[in-house]
Structure 1
Amino acid sequence: MSTAVRQLVKEGADFIKITATGGSTKTSFPMRPSFTVDELTTICDEAHKFGKHTVAHCTSSEGMLNAIQSGIDTIVHGVHKEPDGTNLYRPEITEQIIEHGIYVNPTLNIARVEGQSYKPKWINMD
């Protein structure tokens, strides 16, 4: 993973975006973490060696917790979903985000548009 980060930096990356959870493709599962905390930490540490900002795509509470523990700089989406797909706001996650000084980009406009035109099978739209 360090090699991949170094290659991206060599190619001129301004920041390193990590898919900390699935959900970016039709075949991935949004509530399942894509990397362990150790793997995310390796990526973040390597990016930070080069002064690069790290961003994590997080569509589950578990993914956010992993990203927070790894030293991520920004969480994108920041969806509070449990492994079974239910929405459950967990204030302790927000407290940790604040404590670590992590930026959050909730991507609200995209979620609104996507919700109107696309309903993935994994979303429980009660």
Structure 2
Amino acid sequence: MIKIYHNPRCSKSRNGLEIIKESGKNFEIVSYLENTPSKEELKQLLNLLNINAESLIRKNEAVWKENFKGKDLTEEQLIEAMVKFPKLIERPIVTNGKKAVIGRPPEKISEII
């Protein structure tokens, strides 16, 4: 099952959702700002994406600059920051079985659907 971690206010996320809809395949939308992934879910996503936590963080967000920028944080602390402040999570993330991509650019989503 295809799953998109979606923020409807983000144009890249909306474009990614359109790509999935156009595929005609079944999918699930996770509104991650309301239904924040747990630490375990984030660890699974990082594993599927084959990246570290820092690579999943949106560093231009005010909450990052105000609370975390310039600090030497562990992987665990970065994951905890994303759970506490889900706005920090890069978007959209799309999973399909054992594959996942960050949809930037949104066309990358086509690689796994």
TM-score, normalised by the number of residues in structure 2: 0.29
Greater Rg over alpha carbons, structure: 1
TM-score, normalised by the number of residues in structure 1: 0.27
The structure in which a higher percent of residues are helix is 2
